[in-house]
Structure 1
Amino acid sequence: MSADASQEQVDAVVDRVESVGGQAFVSRGVVRTIVGLVGDADRFHELNLHTLPGVTEVIRVSAPYKLVSRRLHDSRSVVLVGPPERQIPIGPGTFTLIAGPCAVESAEQTLGAARLAAAAGATMLRGGAFKPRTSPYAFQGLGEDGLKILADVREATGLLVVTEVVEAGDVELVASYADMLQVGARNMQNFALLEGVGSTGKPVMLKRGVQSTVEEWLLAAEYVAQRGNLDIVLCERGIRTFEPSTSSTLDVSAIPLAQQLSHLPVIVDPSHACGRRELVVPLARAAIAAGADGLMVDVHPEPEYALVDGQQALAGADLRELAAAVRQLPPMFGRCPAAVVAQS
């Protein structure tokens, strides 16, 4: 649809498609609205949809992921995170650093991690209030108390908050605190959760499952887009291979591949890709060189005492090394550190 298409014009397209037994999924991004059609393509062509008011272009997409396909876009999308008066862009031309503790443990720990993250150049704070763990005996997070801590730290530091939502029933609660909702690798194919986060209107970060193909990853994003939300950021966090010396294997090739197949921004989580502190910065450098639109890394003021993933959290000299890489490398590849965008 054209940028100035009215709701009535969008509804008219939907009604026309449904009149011949098709389905229409309306998805809105920051600068565009797309109506994805599912059904008999030949019947759709007979409708002459391109003649309807508000329609800019009609494109046939053969990929199974219609709404997130690169075929629909002349250029890759930028996702804006945060309220209109203070938005952070994630996408081509910029480079966004997201950093913070894997788990929110206390107000003091989270604030300390946030200050370290901001000093390293981060504009967004990551922190888990709900932690899906392999062991049922491991720390599972503080729940809503953790969300409240994240909101307080956002107020104190100005960093926007991205945090994971684990269950479909918690989507509304987490969305009331977070600027961006994260769907973790374990939940990449939790379809009820994907549909739930897609309905909130909040930007969504979708991590790739450790045993998922790139196509399965993009189809998971399609579930979010079908609920009306095109503001999706893909996160490559490593896949499971035969190699046991790291927790996962970072799939560097997935970065440019996903960017070629989809218009969505792609960031990388090197912390969870390797699970080893000494490998985080080298993998971060590789991700930047491969074209990643940003990084998400674990930061902790006292990694040796962290309740979750302390072995991969950065502090001290390691964090300063990461900050230098984020400051120096993206401009070499035509990207500048993400800055706040104020909308009038």
Structure 2
Amino acid sequence: MIIVIKAGTPVVEIERITLEISRYGIAPEVSLGQQKAVIGLIGDTAEIDTKQIQNISPFIEQVVRIKKPFKRASLEYRNGEHSEVVVPTPNGAVTFGQNHPVVVVAGPCSVENEQMIVETAQVVKATGAQFLRGGAYKPRTSPYAFQGHGESALELLAKAREATGLGIITEVMDAAELELVASVADVIQIGARNMQNFSLLKKVGATGKPVLLKRGLAATIEDWLMSAEYILAAGNPNVILCERGIRTFDKQYTRNTLDISAIPVLRTLTHLPIMIDPSHATGKSEFVQPMAMAAIASGTDSLMIEVHPDPAKALSDGPQSLTLPAFEELMLELGALGKFFGRWAKPNNTYTSAALATQVTARV
């Protein structure tokens, strides 16, 4: 159940309403939007009479029961207003949200050595990315595959941030490593294989750090949003949803199936920001560009692109990683499209050479 408060209501009146609501034995949660305040009542509200709530104050605009199982994640919980996730970085705060420029996250699948991660960070920053991604701990299908360098890789991510000012997004796989990962990460990533690790979701939510929640390999949209609900219920409102492809029947031509339709569907269901990861979705570098452009055209708030100085020698996910020059060219193309949709922060031709800008402009 949510209580929508009229625009311009004095703060003291909102406090009085929440005090009255607390007498029903439910802790109210106040969410301040750009226009109106919303008070959420989470728990067993079946016996609460909406008319009695409405009569508490003339400043109450309406009382609405939320029928969806994902309460805090639902669009109704914010009275139809989409939320923003603001992440402080050394270069300044970056905002993920529908009414902001597309946030680009780029970097290698895994952190291999200092030279590689710092070089990659410098190039993706110069090209327009705001965050560096890189795995310190890697969930792999085979126990014999490269699992990441762990704590030493986190130290290298910290060095890359110091050198560039980029925000850091990296994955946590185990609650035992959460404190260490949180000490470096500006955004903590929950990978597809841990999307329904509910114990881990609760603990990550309790850190208060922004969380990037990737969709599970075979998760429905409702499964995904219910996982987000665990993080939100732990008191953390800063959740970004990442579509990274789902497992379907075709494994010959793409790694997974990118569900672009998830973007408009999520817009009708949840207030949370949306990211698309075309690299993991397609599994092949040649398909990243068209899927990234399709994501921008469909309204994504963010993109995650895998980039490596030498994909052929990458310790993990080389086939889906772009080279540094390929990423620069992609950013020019995305910039042209992003500006068309009003979702790009800067003129794209400031990132690379004039010759490359001319080539891309001719194609666009």
Question: Aligned-pair distance for 1:144?
Answer: 1.6
Say which SS state the counterpart of residue 184 (structure 2) adopts: coil
Task: Output the CA distance in 1 between the equivalents of 2:310 and 2:90.
Answer: 35
1:138 aligns with 2:142: no
1:65 aligns with 2:70: yes
Say which SS state the counterpart of residue 326 (structure 1) adopts: helix
Summarize the alignment of residues 322-337 of structure 1 with structure 2, pairs less than 5 Å apart. Answer: 322-337=330-345
Residue in 2 that maps onto 1:90: 96
2:210 to 199, 203, 207: 203
Quick one: higher RCO (CA 8 Å, sep 6+), 1 or 2? Answer: 1
1:53-94 deviation per Cα after TM superposition (whole angstroms, max 9, x unaligned): 998864311111111111122321121112598210111132
Task: Provide the TM-score with structure 1 as the length reference.
Answer: 0.88
1:295 to 292, 297, 303: 303
Residue in 2 that maps onto 1:77: 83
Q: Once structures 1 and 2 are overlaid, which stretch shifts more, 25-34 or 184-193?
A: 25-34
Q: Once structures 1 and 2 are overlaid, which stretch shifts more, 266-275 or 74-83?
A: 74-83
Q: Which runs of no fewer than 5 residues in structure 1 stay unpaired?
A: 340-344
The alpha-carbon distance between structure 1 residues 337 and 44, as it changes in their structure 2 partners (threshold 3 A), is farther
1:41 to 37, 46, 49: 46
Summarize the alignment of residues 104-253 of structure 1 with structure 2, pairs less than 5 Å apart. Answer: 104-244=111-251, 245-253=253-261
Q: Which runs of no fewer than 5 residues in structure 2 stay unpaired?
A: 348-364
Tell me if structure 2 keeps the 8 A contact 1:17–1:44. Answer: no
1:269 aligns with 2:277: yes
Percent identical: 45
2:329 to 309, 321, 332: 321
Task: Output the CA distance in 1 between the equivalents of 2:17 and 2:165.
Answer: 37
Question: Aligned-pair distance for 1:321?
Answer: 2.6
Say which SS state the counterpart of residue 38 (structure 1) adopts: coil
Question: Aligned-pair distance for 1:180?
Answer: 0.6
Q: Once structures 1 and 2 are overlaid, which stretch shifts more, 171-180 or 152-161?
A: 171-180
Task: Provide the TM-score with structure 2 as the length reference.
Answer: 0.83
Tell me if structure 2 keeps the 8 A contact 1:50–1:58. Answer: no
The residue identity in structure 2 corresponding to 1:39 is: D
Task: Output the CA distance in 2 between the equivalents of 1:33 and 1:165.
Answer: 33
Q: Once structures 1 and 2 are overlaid, which stretch shifts more, 47-56 or 176-185?
A: 47-56
1:310 aligns with 2:315: no
The residue identity in structure 2 corresponding to 1:212 is: A
RMSD: 2.8
Question: Aligned-pair distance for 1:230?
Answer: 1.2
Say which SS state the counterpart of residue 76 (structure 1) adopts: coil
1:272-294 deviation per Cα after TM superposition (whole angstroms, max 9, x unaligned): 00110111111111111111111
Say which SS state the counterpart of residue 103 (structure 1) adopts: coil
The alpha-carbon distance between structure 1 residues 76 and 49, as it changes in their structure 2 partners (threshold 3 A), is same
The alpha-carbon distance between structure 1 residues 266 and 80, as it changes in their structure 2 partners (threshold 3 A), is same
1:174-199 deviation per Cα after TM superposition (whole angstroms, max 9, x unaligned): 11111111101001101011111111
Aligned residues: 335
Tell me if structure 1 keeps the 8 A contact 2:131–2:166. Answer: yes
The alpha-carbon distance between structure 1 residues 145 and 331, as it changes in their structure 2 partners (threshold 3 A), is same
1:278 aligns with 2:283: no
Task: Output the CA distance in 1 between the equivalents of 2:74 and 2:53.
Answer: 22
1:93-114 deviation per Cα after TM superposition (whole angstroms, max 9, x unaligned): 3211000111111111111111
Task: Output the CA distance in 1 between the equivalents of 2:237 and 2:311.
Answer: 36
The residue identity in structure 1 corresponding to 2:278 is: P
Q: Once structures 1 and 2 are overlaid, which stretch shifts more, 51-60 or 168-177?
A: 51-60
Question: Aligned-pair distance for 1:36?
Answer: 3.9
The alpha-carbon distance between structure 1 residues 30 and 146, as it changes in their structure 2 partners (threshold 3 A), is farther
